Amino acid sequence: MRTDFTLLKGISLDRESPLPLYQQLAAQIEDMISNGRLSPGERLPSNMDLSRILDINCETANKALVLLSDKGMVVRRRKTGTFVSDDIERRLPSIGFFYFREAEKMMLEAAEWIQRECASRGYDMKLVGFDGDFYDRNDLCREISVRGLEGAIVVLLNCDSCRRALEDLEHTGFPLVRFGNSFFMETLRSPLIRGNDRQCCQQALKYLQKRGHTRIGLVNSGSGWEMEQEYLKSYASTGGYRDGWIKTIEFTGSEQAWFQTPGAGELPVRYLRDNTDLTAVLVENPGICLDFLRRCTAAGRPVPEDLSLICLRDIAGLGMVWPAPTAMHLSRRRLSEEAVAALFRRMSMSEEERISVPGETIFIDYTVKERESVKTVA
């Protein structure tokens, strides 16, 4: 039995990554076990040793080893230590979570809950982050086969290559669940777990209306067409809508990506100058919302004194700015629990049933996360 810990000094943890350090550590140790750099029966460093070697706290080290133990990669023995499993071939079967890296903060929060739900059912989760050209460059069926997956939860992109990849995968009868958006509803048949965008817009409008706002704008992205429909439906019943209050921007990326978009900084100021009668604005994309928040003062419309603001997609970090925007919160835990449950229902069906029986669509309602960006008006 070796107790040489020098291999672990090669571990590199990225403290700027949204992926938690314990998950990074667990993934790198798992890779060392899988490629033979750490052998069956080999003793791993203690929590304290990992903390010292990698400059992390003991709780982070412990969470990484617990995760590896849950996956069957290591065995933890009281008063003796943690050892690479002698029976690696018996490790847990896996499902995959394919997510878009531009939405990494939100997706990794969901991944933690997916991992917990899978572990409670005796499965591991393999995390697969991808960029915008993933479906153009890769064969999804082959990616799933190479990873030895028994099911998958997949985030879709709005492109033909993604649609074709999902159609091909569905035709094989492979157990699949779509996660988070409603692209290609007319052609895809696998279960879909997503937020209830119509309810989100309805509730945000009612929240503002109860606080005296009747002149409310909407800055929408290309993926939020259902929110736009609900917005127009609301004004069709109450009246008072003016052309120009809706601004649709074909953008679904992160705050960093937004700031790199040509002309991005001019849009909030121009929108506010063109709509001086508005007392509140709903902004779908969090990155654009944060940009609005910064530029409202420059446009002479400070938040919340002169303009109220609600972000329709809450993400980690929105509560750390000032004034922190009130937002519509979608529980990643609920999404993840429902996605895993739907996937295991699909896995219990025969291949023929998965091909012939359409999957359900499950909507998760949003809740209002109150912060400091909404003011009651007379």
Characterize the bridge pairing of strands 81-84 and 192-195: unpaired
- H helices of 172-317, in order, are 197-209, 225-238, 255-259, 266-274, 286-295
Q: CA of 358: how far to CAs of 26, 27, 122, 353, in Å?
A: 37, 35, 26, 9
Q: CA of 317: how far to CAs of 68, 287, 311, 314, 353, in Å?
A: 29, 11, 12, 9, 43
Q: What's the pLDDT at 356?
A: 93
Q: What's the pLDDT at 1?
A: 46
Lookup: tokens for 267: 């849009």
Q: What percent of the chain has pLDDT over 90?
A: 56
Q: What is the pLDDT of residues 196-207, one digit of tens each?
A: 999 999 999 999
Q: What's the pLDDT at 271?
A: 93
Q: Residue 261 corresponds to which amino acid? A: T
Task: Please list the residues that pair with 194 across neighbouring strands.
Answer: 363
Lookup: tokens for 158: 């709005």
Fold: same for 93-195+332-365 and 197-330:
yes
Are the beta carbons of 170 and 190 closer than 8 angstroms? yes
Of 303, 263, 311, 324, residue with least CA distance to 283? 311
Neighbours of 289 (CB within 10 A): 28
**CATH architecture assignment, domain 197-330:** 3-Layer(aba) Sandwich (3.40)
Residues 192 and 125: their CA atoms lie apart, in Å, by 19
What are the extents of the domains in the chain?
6-89, 93-195+332-365, 197-330
Residue 351, Cβ density class (10 Å: 0-12 exposed, 13-18 middle, ≥19 buried): exposed
H or E segment and range at residue 21: helix 21-34
Strand extents, DSSP E, the chain: 43-44, 74-77, 81-84, 94-100, 124-130, 149-154, 176-179, 192-195, 216-221, 246-249, 280-283, 308-311, 326-329, 361-364, 367-369
Residues 360 and 362: their CA atoms lie apart, in Å, by 6
Residue 173 has, within 13 A of its CA and on its CB side, a CA count of 9
Q: What's the pLDDT at 36?
A: 76
Question: Selecting from 3.40.50.720, 3.40.50.2300, 3.40.50.2000, 1.10.10.350, what CATH number does the domain 93-195+332-365 have?
Answer: 3.40.50.2300
Average pLDDT along the chain, 378 residues, taken 10 residues at a time: 62 81 87 80 89 90 89 85 78 88 82 91 89 93 91 94 96 96 90 96 98 96 81 94 92 75 83 94 93 87 96 89 95 96 97 94 97 94
Q: What is the pLDDT of residues 315-344, one digit of tens each?
A: 878 888 999 999 999 999 999 999 999 999
Q: What's the pLDDT at 360?
A: 95
Are the beta carbons of 364 and 195 closer than 8 angstroms? yes
Residues 354 and 344: their CA atoms lie apart, in Å, by 12
Of 186, 176, 158, residue with least CA distance to 102? 158
Residues 45 and 42: their CA atoms lie apart, in Å, by 10
Question: Selecting from 1.10.3720.10, 3.30.365.10, 3.40.50.2300, 1.10.10.10, what CATH number does the domain 6-89 have?
Answer: 1.10.10.10
